[in-house]
Chains A and B, each alone.
Chain A
Amino acid sequence: MTLSDEPPFAEPWEAKAFALVVHLHGRGAFTWAEWAQALSGELKRPDAGSYYQCWLLALEHLTLERGVLDRPGLDERRDAWAQAYRNTPHGQPVQLT
């Protein structure tokens, strides 16, 4: 009997990307049909990555398209996190400063 033969998420970021979509949908940020369409658009691309990479790109796309976030802000924040990882000694929690 193989009721759960694989964990639902391979890495923590996949779980977080999944939860962000479920949470935002629950708060009415978009309908599930809108979400399914965004995800489908990413999955259909010839250069589509893994399933949760598509999931994350679709979420970025929806938030940018709706003006919730903007591209420069998103890029800047990602760079800030990258810098925080580089600056944090091993074993310490990574935090933005």
Chain B
Amino acid sequence: MTLRVQALESLLVEKGLVDPAALDAIIETYEHKVGPRNGARVVARAWSDPAYKTRLLAEPVAAIAELGFEGRQGEHMVVVENTPQVHNLVVCTLCSCYPWPLLGLPPVWYKSAPYRSRAVIDPRGVLAEFGTVVGEDVEVRVWDSTAEVRYLVLPERPAGTDGLSEDALADLVTRDAMIGVTRVNP
């Protein structure tokens, strides 16, 4: 695989289609600069500031940009809110579409064929495998990401966190909760 990538890269560079420095910058960004910490800050802000939450649900791209997060694969965002009545779960059945600016690159399981198919066929079963039991009275909504639209789950704020600062709240928020396979624990 190394040789195949090198062959491709060196030919594309010679044709002037690829700038090696730009490749290094892209790798640096996704290895070190973007990750679920970004999404956690958005969630914590929404929990702390009702006006921000309203903006986040109505105009996600603009509200997310307020916190400085934008860029590739974040151009068309939809934020879906978990409530006591509704649990949201995100998948990409086609490939691995994912909100990079907020969550970084997807985990291995998100890209796997079993998750991509079973999240749609048996979402409650998938949730149970992640240790998330959703009551029969709760509606499970599955959102299939596409090349155009990416989803972020706004998890429920856990009970007993009223006194926490926004930073402390952000520390509670996990990547998996923002995909919707788990809840946020206090």
> Which residues of A are at the interface with B, using a C-beta cutoff of 8 A?
1-9, 11-13, 15-20, 22-24, 26-27, 29, 31-33, 35-37, 39-40, 43, 51-53, 56, 59-60, 63, 68-69, 73-75, 77-78, 80-82, 85, 96
Q: Determine how close the nearest CB of chain B comes to the CB of A54; give it in whole angstroms.
A: 9
Q: Determine how close the nearest CB of chain B comes to the CB of A34; give it in whole angstroms.
A: 8
Choose the segment among B56-64, B93-101, B118-126, B151-159 that binds chain A (4+ C-beta atoms closer than 8 Å).
Answer: B93-101
B1-60 residues at the A interface, CB under 8 angstroms? 1-12, 15, 17-19, 22-24, 26-27, 30-31, 35-37, 40
Q: Which residues of B contact A32 (CB under 8 A)?
A: 73, 147-148
B66 within 8 A of A: no
Choose the segment among B78-86, B128-136, B167-175 that binds chain A (4+ C-beta atoms closer than 8 Å).
Answer: B167-175
Tell me if A77 and B18 are in contact (CB < 8 A).
no
A-B contact pairs, 29 of them (CB 8 A): A3-B175, A4-B36, A5-B107, A13-B1, A13-B4, A18-B26, A18-B27, A18-B105, A19-B23, A19-B24, A19-B30, A20-B5, A20-B18, A20-B23, A23-B26, A27-B17, A31-B147, A32-B73, A35-B147, A36-B146, A51-B108, A51-B112, A53-B1, A56-B1, A69-B12, A75-B7, A77-B6, A78-B7, A81-B3
Q: Which residues of B contact A3 (CB under 8 A)?
A: 35-37, 40, 174-175
Tell me if B31 and A68 are in contact (CB < 8 A).
no
B180 within 8 A of A: no
Tell me if B10 and A16 are in contact (CB < 8 A).
no
Tell me if A69 and B1 are in contact (CB < 8 A).
no
> Which residues of B are at the interface with A, using a C-beta cutoff of 8 A?
1-12, 15, 17-19, 22-24, 26-27, 30-31, 35-37, 40, 72-73, 94-97, 104-105, 107-108, 111-113, 146-148, 171-172, 174-176
Tell me if B1 and A39 are in contact (CB < 8 A).
no
Q: Which residues of A contact B36 (CB under 8 A)?
A: 3-4
| Total A-B Cβ pairs within 8 A | 137
Q: Determine how close the nearest CB of chain A comes to the CB of B111; give it in whole angstroms.
A: 5
New A-B contacts (20) at CB < 8 Å, excluding given A13-B2, A74-B7: A3-B40, A4-B104, A11-B1, A15-B30, A15-B31, A16-B6, A18-B27, A19-B22, A20-B8, A27-B17, A36-B94, A39-B96, A53-B1, A63-B12, A73-B11, A74-B11, A77-B10, A77-B11, A80-B7, A81-B6
Interface residue from A19, A40, A69 paired with B27 (Cβ < 8 Å): A19
In the complex, what distance in Å separates the CA atom of A41 from the CA atom of B164? 47
Tell me if A16 and B27 are in contact (CB < 8 A).
yes
Q: Which residues of B contact A31 (CB under 8 A)?
A: 147
Tell me if A1 and B172 are in contact (CB < 8 A).
yes
In the complex, what distance in Å separates the CA atom of A73 from the CA atom of B7? 9
